[in-house]
Structure 1
Amino acid sequence: MSILWHVTCLLLLRSCAPGFSMQDGIVGGKVSVPHSRPYMVYIRDKFTKQACGGFLVREDYVLTAAHCRQHHLMVYLGVHDTNCLPDGVEVDPFPHPKFNMRRPDHDIMLLKLKTPATLNKNVSTVALPKPENEAISKDCMVMGWGWKEYHHESPSNVLKEAIVTLIDSENCGVADTLCSEGSTGPAQGDSGGPLVCGGVAQGIVSFSKDNGNTDHLMGYTHISHYLSWIHDNMKPPTQQQYETWKGKLDKF
């Protein structure tokens, strides 16, 4: 698994290397109607220009993949064409504490916006799963600015989207992962984007495995496994402090 993880990290992060720009799109699928996915967020380091995708889950928080962490991340809201970026917003990154680049699990990160977003028709949030173990639609949507061909750079600059079909989780190889398989789906540069099923963000684009033919196995961090961690980290600091003191008092 460790060898596979190194390979897939390189596969997804290659378009995030210095000198690359996030100019391409999801493999297959179609160009999104401009601003029809208002929760989509373009993420880029302001110095190295390394880039990923993400999605707005509250006016002050973006969810993305932990392996997208860089030192000076900026997020760009309401983006369709990356040639026309609005002013970026600085963030504080909160990767999952158990994430390790040598492994594919716990690949999830919250970004706290230093200036909360103003929600409107071009910038809005996407729903997260409910705590209960609800069924997930097998037909889901992925979107991003990554390559539109798996092995060939082909710029498009605009947001693309595609329908993918989930397969049985036991074939994913990691307990906290959903996966899809086929010739259509996320590729290099799409890391951190959402897997949206029935209007709910159920996964985060994490890794890809080339099966040696036209099909690829795509892995997505299963968000429902991390709902407690997400909600705990998005609590206001005053509430976190109150619950910490309350917990100490309850022990007496």
Structure 2
Amino acid sequence: MHRLSTFLLFNVLACLGQNVQGSYIIHGKKAPANSMQYMVSLQNKWGHHVCGGFMVRGDIVVTAAHCAEERPVRVVLGTHKLSESYMSLDIEYFCKFPTYKSVGFGADIMLLKLSGEVTLSNRVKIIPLPTSSNANLRDGQICSVAGWGQNGTHHPIVDDLRVVNVSILDPQLCREKWGGLPPNVICAGGYNTDKGFCQGDSGGPLVCKGVAVGVVSFNRNFYCTYPDVPNVYTDISKYLLWINNIMNTKKCV
């Protein structure tokens, strides 16, 4: 069974890793004003949104490791509407988790060190991370995910931050539906519901009770007409030591 799972991961999941880069929210709504001020947009040198992310300190953003493939150079923060950019900062350097290879093998998490430190305010805030190595989530628990971009397969990109509620799925059920999964992931939305993320809410947070517990990692191909297989997030609680080491030493470890 272990060999079968490994085979499935290599041949199915490894080829899915590049399918969640951008930002779709399916059957969500515009984010309420003055909410989720921790959200940031990762943008390339042409000023195009490529991934989401979230502030955990005035100079540190958490996002997905595979977002580095889109070559973001700056983050836009302090706004829900990308056409009304409030503030942007260059990315000084990337810190991918050391064992990251592709989303199919897990560890799809990355920290961005910004070129300056933002003064937190009513426009720019941080979101707390889990305090232990166990996220303590329960099957059916309602959480949320947010991002910018398309809100359906092949739909045009949207300008306003959108958010949708999703429910946590039992890990065993999620593994069965996928035929195997990388370690240290959380499943929520995208299955037995018409709500979830799509290409590519990558890097955005899965938020449960005001805490960022997951990072958007992957779904199946470019298919956004749910229900399908569950959406998959990196479990932040399993990477707390690494995150704290970077924040304390101010260098990749």
| Higher alpha-carbon Rg | 1
Alignment equivalent of 1:163, drawn from 161, 165, 181? 165
Report the CA distance shift for 1:64/1:3 in structure 2 as closer, same or farther (over 3 A): same
Paired positions, count: 229
Residue 103 (structure 1) shift: 2.7
Cα distance in 2, alignment partners of residues 212 and 52 from structure 1: 17
Letter in 2 for 1:231: N
TM-score (norm 1): 0.82
Gaps of 5+ in 2: 1-8, 176-180
Q: What secondary structure sits across from 1:188 in the alignment?
A: strand
Alignment equivalent of 1:223, drawn from 201, 213, 236? 236
Give the alignment of 1:53-202 within 5 angstroms: 53-69=52-68, 70-91=70-91, 92-101=93-102, 103-131=104-132, 133=134, 135-136=136-137, 138-149=141-152, 151-170=153-172, 171-172=174-175, 173-180=181-188, 181=191, 182-202=193-213
Percent identity between the two aligned chains? 33
Deviation above 4 Å: which 4+ runs of structure 1? 210-213
Deviations along 1:195-223, one digit per CA (max 9) or x if unpaired, are 00011000000000268973132000000
Q: What secondary structure sits across from 2:145 in the alignment?
A: strand
Report the CA distance shift for 1:38/1:87 in structure 2 as closer, same or farther (over 3 A): closer
Which residue in 2 is equivalent to 1:18? none
Gaps of 5+ in 1: 16-21, 241-252
Say what the alpha-carbon RMSD is for the aligned residues: 2.4
Matched, 1:204 2:215: yes
Cα distance in 1, alignment partners of residues 158 and 98 from structure 2: 35
Q: What secondary structure sits across from 2:84 in the alignment?
A: coil
Deviations along 1:134-176, one digit per CA (max 9) or x if unpaired, are 5225211000013211x22133210000000011113242221
